[in-house]
A and B are shown apart, each in its own frame.
Chain A
């Protein structure tokens, strides 16, 4: 069993829909990261959080430490949000353990 599990693995939605991507982990962590990877490979950090909730534009990330679960939400989704979203946990010393990613496709 992977230490970091994401669901769903693939998600296709229509423009404007509310999107939720889930991440569950089985180890103790100091922080959890959400990353975005567009076709071509470059990875961008979206959020780093250790408790509660963070918001940036149309993106919201939440974490429940007790339940070892995090969610990434996208409101009013747009085709440019199409990407792979990756959850990663920091077990300390900034060594990240990554989920396998969720491939999101937003159709116009």
Chain B
């Protein structure tokens, strides 16, 4: 079974802190995604990556950056956390072939910025 593991289920941070959210997948997937989920807004794409060291902006990249130094790991970075970044963050991965387009999600990280 594909496993997508997010490093923390819950995080509490202070405004202005630098925050790292880590995501690791074990299926050699090329594509990885970071989403945030907010009530009434659904899931929105922050950043995605099609390969190591490649990254593309999603719909709401402002205030975030990402890093993909290894194929299995995709990190989301909040350079200076703000209260409006309090949210549920979900990581997902897929393979490149069309038959592997099913997205596998991590369990999510609920981040609170105080």
Most buried by A among B58, B90, B104, B105: B105
Size band of the A side of the interface? Answer: 20 to 34
Query: Majority SS of interface residues in chain B?
Result: strand
Interface size on B, residues (CB 8 A): 22
In the complex, A25 Cα to B95 Cα: how many Å? 25
CB distance A100 to B42 under 8 Å? yes
Q: Output the least CB separation between A8 and chain B (Å).
A: 15
| Number of A-B residue pairs having CB atoms within 8 Å of each other in the complex | 48
In the complex, A31 Cα to B97 Cα: how many Å? 13
CB distance B94 to A86 under 8 Å? no
Ordered by A's residue number, 20 sampled pairs between the chains whose C-beta atoms are within 8 Å are: A31-B101, A33-B102, A35-B105, A41-B88, A41-B90, A41-B110, A42-B106, A42-B108, A43-B105, A43-B108, A48-B101, A88-B43, A94-B31, A94-B103, A95-B45, A95-B48, A96-B103, A98-B43, A99-B42, A100-B41
Q: Beyond the given A33-B102, A48-B102, could you list 12 further A-B residue pairs with CB under 8 A, ordered by the A residue number?
A: A42-B106, A43-B92, A44-B105, A45-B105, A86-B42, A86-B43, A88-B43, A94-B101, A94-B103, A95-B45, A96-B43, A100-B41
